[in-house]
Amino acid sequence: MANQANKRLAIQNARIVANHRLFAMGLHGFFILMRLVLRLRAFSTGMLIKYLLTTALSGFLQFTLEKTGRARYNPAGELLSAGQDLNQAGLTEWMWDVIYVCWLGQALAALGINRGFWVLWAVPAYAVFKVGPMAARFLGLGNMFGGRGAAAEAQEEAAPAMSKRQQKMEKRGGQKIRYR
pLDDT in tens, 88-140: 988 899 999 999 999 999 999 888 887 888 898 888 898 888 888 888 888 87
User: Does 45 reside within a domain?
Assistant: yes
Query: Are 154 and 124 in the same domain?
Result: yes
Q: What is the pLDDT of residue 180?
A: 64
H-helix or E-strand spanning residue 80: strand 79-81
Q: What is the pLDDT of residue 24?
A: 95
Q: CB atoms < 10 A from the CB of 20, how many?
A: 19
Query: Are 73 and 139 in the same domain?
Result: no
Q: Give the span between the Cα atoms of 146 and 164, in whole angstroms.
A: 31
Q: What is the pLDDT of residue 148?
A: 53
Range of the domain at 156: 116-161
Say what the pTM is: 0.71
Question: How far out from the chain centre does Cα 110 lie?
Answer: 25
Query: Are 74 and 157 in the same domain?
Result: no
Query: Are 64 and 108 in the same domain?
Result: yes
Q: Give the span between the Cα atoms of 147 and 137, in whole angstroms.
A: 7
Q: Give the span between the Cα atoms of 51 and 125, in whole angstroms.
A: 21
Query: Are 136 and 98 in the same domain?
Result: no
Query: Are 72 and 30 in the same domain?
Result: yes
Q: Which residue numbers in the chain have pLDDT < 70?
A: 1-2, 40-42, 142-160, 174-180
Q: How many domains does the chain have?
A: 2
Q: What is the pLDDT of residue 163?
A: 81
Query: Are 88 and 69 in the same domain?
Result: yes
Given 114, 146, 169, the domain boundary residue is: 114
Query: Are 28 and 48 in the same domain?
Result: yes
3-state secondary structure of 74: coil
Query: Are 89 and 152 in the same domain?
Result: no
Query: Are 95 and 149 in the same domain?
Result: no
Q: What is the pLDDT of residue 25?
A: 96
Query: Are 74 and 142 in the same domain?
Result: no
Query: Are 93 and 105 in the same domain?
Result: yes
